[in-house]
Amino acid sequence: MTDITIYHNSRCTKSRQTLELLGEEGVEPVVVDYQKTPPPAEELDRICAMLGKEPLEITRTQEKLFKELGLSKQDDRSREEWLRILTENPKLIERPIVVHGERAAIGRPPESVRSIL
C-alpha cells in the first residue's frame, strides 16, 4: 500500500501511535509534517469531504491559538474562511489524519484508521 498519507505531528502521542499502528499493519505511509508543510486549502477541503466533516469539525478548538486568534465555534464563517484559517494556522488542524485513496480517517483513537486500510 503506497498511496497512504499521514498528516503527522511527531510531538502528538496519538499521531505517533497511529504511525506505529500503520507500521504494524505493514503500511509505509508518506509522512507529512503538516505543521511544516500544511496542505493547501484545496487539499484540506478534499480531506474534509472524505471525512464527511466541515473544516470547523477538524479544528482543535481547545488550542490556545484558537482563542488567541479570536475564533469561536459559533463564528459565522464560510467554509472557505475556515479552510484559509487552518491552512495559515496548521497547529489548529486535528491530528493525525490518514488518507488512503479517496478515504480518510482521523486517528483518534488510532485504531479508527483501520477502517480505511
Cα–Cα distance list, 42 to 1, 54, 59, 84, 98 (Å)? 24, 13, 16, 10, 17
Report which residue type is found at 19.
L
**Active site includes 48?**
no
For residue 63, what is its C-alpha cell? Answer: 488550542
Q: Please identify which of the residues 2, 9, 12, 105 carries the catalytic annotation.
A: 12
Three-state DSSP class for 71? Answer: coil
Report, as residue numbers or ranges, the catalytic residues. Answer: 12
